[in-house]
Chains A and B, each alone.
Chain A
Amino acid sequence: MGKIKGTLLPFSALKYLGKKPHTVRYPLETKKIADRYRGFHYNDIDECIGCGTCSTICQNDAIDMIKIDGIESKKGDSGLRPRVDNGRCCWCALCIEMCPTGSLSLTDKFILTSSNPDDYLLVPGVDNPEAKDNISFVKDNDITLLNFNRVPMRELEGSERIKSFAEVVLGYVQEEARQEAIRCIDCALCVTACPAHMHIPEYIAAIADADDKLALKYIYDNNPLPEMCGKVCTRQCETVCAMAHKGDAIAIRWLKRYATEQFPDPSIVLEPKISDPNGKTVGIIGGGPAGLSAGYFLALRGFDVTIYEALPKMGGMTFAGIPKYRFPEDSLDKQIDYMKKIGVKMINNIRVGKDISFAEIKEKYNAIFMGIGFHVPYTIGLDGENLNGSIQAIDFLREINIGNKVDVGKKVVVIGGGNVAIDAARVARRIGAKVTILYRRRVEDMPADWEEIEGAEDEGVNIITQGIPLEIIGKNGKVKTIKYGMAEMIPDPKGGRPRPKLIEGDEHILEVDTIIGAIGQEADYSFLTEEDTKELEIERGRVVVNEFKQTSMKNVFAGGDNVNRTMDAISAIADGVKAVEGIEKFLLG
Chain B
Amino acid sequence: MSGIIKQEKETTLYLGPQHPGITGNMMIELKVTGDTVQRGKTHVGYLHRGFEKLMEERLWMQCFPIVCRICVPEPDPNEENLARAIEEIEGREVPERAQYIRVLVLELSRLTAYLLWMGGQAGSAGLYTMPQWTVGDRDYILDLFEELTGGRVYHMYIWAGGVRRDLPEGFKGRVLKVMDYLEERLLEYDRLLFENAIFQKRAIGVGVIDKEKAMEWGVVGPPLRGCGIAHDVRRDEPYEVYDKLEWEVISKDGGDVCSRAYVRRKEIDQSISMVRQVLDKMPSGPVYNPGPNPLKWKLPVGDSYVRTESARGEFGYYVVSDGSLRPRRVHVRGPAYVHGVSLLERMLPGMNIADVSFIMNSLGTCPPEIER
Contact = CB atoms under 8 A, between A and B. Distances in A.
Do A and B truly interact?
A: yes
17 contacts: A5-B195, A9-B196, A13-B191, A22-B136, A35-B168, A59-B63, A90-B154, A92-B64, A94-B64, A94-B294, A106-B150, A136-B150, A140-B164, A143-B288, A182-B297, A184-B293, A205-B296
Contacts of B151: 38, 91
Contact of A13 (B154, B165, B188, B293): B188
Nearest to B291: A145
A200 B287 CA distance: 34
Q: Which of A5, A59, A60, A91 has the most CB of B within 10 A?
A: A59
Contacts of B90: none
A287 B86 CA distance: 54
Interface in A211-233: none
A36 B293 contact: no
Contacts of B168: 35-36
A359 B200 CA distance: 111
B49 interface: no
B292 A182 contact: yes
Contact of B293 (A23, A143, A147): A147
Nearest to A7: B197
B197 A59 contact: no
Contact of B295 (A9, A57, A137): A57
A6 interface: yes
A542 B225 CA distance: 87
Interface string A6-23: 110110110000000011
B192 A34 contact: no
A518 to B, nearest CB: 40
Contacts of A91: 150-151
A585 interface: no
Contacts of A9: 191-192, 195-196
Contact of A6 (B136, B146, B196): B196
Contacts of B65: 59-60, 90, 92, 94
Nearest to B200: A6
A100 to B, nearest CB: 10
Nearest to B148: A36
A57 B192 contact: no
Interface in B151-178: 151, 154, 156, 162, 164-166, 168
A185 B290 CA distance: 16
Interface in B172-196: 188, 191-193, 195-196
Contacts of B66: 59
B372 to A, nearest CB: 16
Contacts of B162: 143
A136 B192 CA distance: 40
Nearest to A59: B62
A93 B188 contact: no
A435 interface: no
Q: Which of A3, A94, A106, A181 has the most CB of B within 10 A?
A: A94
Interface in B118-149: 127, 129, 136, 143, 146-149
Interface in A1-59: 2-3, 5-7, 9-10, 12-13, 22-23, 33-38, 53, 56-57, 59
Nearest to B297: A182
B136 A23 contact: yes
Given A23-B136, A144-B290, A3 B197 contact: yes
B58 interface: yes
A12 B193 CA distance: 11
A208 B297 CA distance: 10
B61 interface: yes
A147 B292 CA distance: 7
A452 to B, nearest CB: 29
A146 interface: yes
A589 to B, nearest CB: 44
A13 B296 contact: no
A186 interface: yes
Given A94-B65, A146-B293, A183-B293, A34 B143 contact: yes
A500 B66 CA distance: 59
Contacts of B136: 22-23
Interface of A: 2-3, 5-7, 9-10, 12-13, 22-23, 33-38, 53, 56-57, 59-60, 90-94, 97-98, 106, 136-137, 140, 142-147, 181-186, 205, 208
B296 A98 contact: no
Contacts of B191: 9-10, 12-13
B192 A12 contact: yes
Contacts of B292: 147, 182
Interface in B89-119: none
A84 to B, nearest CB: 14
A238 B65 CA distance: 32
Contacts of B154: 90, 92
B149 A182 contact: no
Nearest to A144: B290
B156 A92 contact: yes
Contacts of B295: 53, 56-57, 98, 185-186
B323 to A, nearest CB: 10
A404 to B, nearest CB: 48
Given A92-B64, A143-B288, A10 B150 contact: no
A182 B296 contact: yes
A282 B280 CA distance: 81
Nearest to A143: B288
B177 to A, nearest CB: 14
Given A90-B154, A140-B165, A10 B146 contact: no
A97 B195 CA distance: 49
B188 A12 contact: yes
Interface in B268-289: 286-288
Contacts of A37: 146, 150
A185 B59 CA distance: 13
A3 B64 CA distance: 49
A13 B127 CA distance: 12
A140 B288 CA distance: 12
B129 A13 contact: yes
A10 B293 CA distance: 56
Interface string B289-320: 01111111100000000000000000000000
A193 B132 CA distance: 61
A185 B193 CA distance: 55
Contacts of B150: 34, 36-38, 91, 93, 106, 136-137
Nearest to A186: B295
A188 to B, nearest CB: 12
B169 to A, nearest CB: 10
Contacts of A34: 143, 146-147, 150
A2 to B, nearest CB: 8
B6 to A, nearest CB: 33
Given A5-B195, A6-B197, A7-B197, A36 B296 contact: no
A276 B255 CA distance: 85
Q: Which of B63, B196, B286 has the most CB of A within 10 A?
A: B196
Interface in B15-56: none
A145 B61 contact: yes
A13 B61 contact: no
Q: Which of B64, B66, B136, B195 has the most CB of A within 10 A?
A: B195
Contacts of A145: 61, 290-291, 293-294
B197 to A, nearest CB: 3
Interface string B52-95: 00000011011111100000000000000000000000000000
Given A94-B62, A145-B61, A57 B293 contact: no
A325 to B, nearest CB: 33
A143 B149 CA distance: 14
A208 B154 CA distance: 33
B325 to A, nearest CB: 10
A340 to B, nearest CB: 37
Nearest to A93: B150
A231 B177 CA distance: 62
Contact of A182 (B165, B288, B293): B293
Contacts of B143: 34
